[in-house]
Amino acid sequence: MKKVCIVGPGAIGGMMAVHMQRVGFEVSTLAQPAKVAEIAQRGFKLLDGGQTYTGKPKAATDPRELGVQDLVVVTVKAAGLPWAAEHLAALSRPETQWVFVLNGVPWWFFDGFGGALQGSALKTVDPDGALSRAIPAARVIWGVINCNVAIEADGTLNHVHSNHLQLGHPNGALGGLDAVAAVFRAAGYNTETSAVIREAIWAKLLINMTFNPISVLTMATSDLMLGDAYVRDLAARVVDEGRAVAAALGLPGGPTGAQRFAAAGASPVKAKTSMLADALRGRSLEVAPLIGAVAEIADLCGISVPFTKALYGLIRVRSQTLTP
pLDDT per residue as tens digits for the range 233-260: 999 999 999 999 999 999 999 999 998 8
CA 124 to chain centre: 16
CA 73 to chain centre: 12
What is residue 304's predicted lDDT score, i.e. its pLDDT? Answer: 98
What is residue 264's predicted lDDT score, i.e. its pLDDT? Answer: 60
**Position 148 pLDDT exceeds 90:** no
Tens digit of pLDDT for each residue in 42-76? 999 999 999 999 999 999 999 999 999 999 999 99
**Position 310 pLDDT exceeds 90:** yes
What is residue 42's predicted lDDT score, i.e. its pLDDT? Answer: 93
Average pLDDT over residues 293-311: 98
Whether 204 sits among the annotated catalytic residues: the reply is yes
Tens digit of pLDDT for each residue in 273-292? 889 989 998 888 999 999 99
Instruction: Sketch out the chain's domains with CATH numbers.
Output: 3-195 (3.40.50.720), 200-321 (1.10.1040.10)
C-alpha pair distances (Å), 209 with each of 76, 180, 231, 268, 295:
18, 28, 14, 18, 10
Identify the DSSP state of 115: G
Helices (H), the chain: 11-22, 33-42, 81-87, 130-134, 177-186, 197-218, 222-226, 229-249, 257-266, 274-280, 287, 293-301, 306-321
CA distance 137 to 119: 11
Tens digit of pLDDT for each residue in 121-139? 999 999 999 999 999 999 9
Average pLDDT over residues 11-19: 96
Reported as a pLDDT band with limits 50, 70 and 90, residue 271 is: confident
Which residue type occupies 57? P
CA distance 214 to 219: 8
What is residue 268's predicted lDDT score, i.e. its pLDDT? Answer: 67
Residue 17 phi, psi (nearest 5):
-60, -45
CA distance 6 to 12: 10
What is residue 324's predicted lDDT score, i.e. its pLDDT? Answer: 61
Inter-residue contact 75 to 9 (CB < 8 Å): yes
What is residue 120's predicted lDDT score, i.e. its pLDDT? Answer: 94
Tens digit of pLDDT for each residue in 74-121? 999 988 999 999 999 999 999 999 999 999 999 999 999 989 999 999
Reported as a pLDDT band with limits 50, 70 and 90, residue 202 is: very high
Using only the alpha carbons of the chain, give its radius of gyration: 19
Q: What is the largest CA-CA distance in the chain?
A: 53
Average pLDDT over residues 17-44: 96
Average pLDDT over residues 150-163: 90
Question: Catalytic pick from 204, 270, 272, 309?
Answer: 204
Question: What rounded mean pLDDT belongs to the chain?
Answer: 94
Residues 6+ away with beta carbon under 8 Å from 136? none
Kindly provide the b/e burial profile for residues 275-313, where b requires at least 16 CB atoms within 10 angstroms of the residue's own CB. bbbbbeeebebbbbbbbbbbbbbbeebebebebbbebbe
CA distance 261 to 253: 15
Q: How many CB atoms lie within 10 A of CB 17?
A: 30
Average pLDDT over residues 189-213: 95
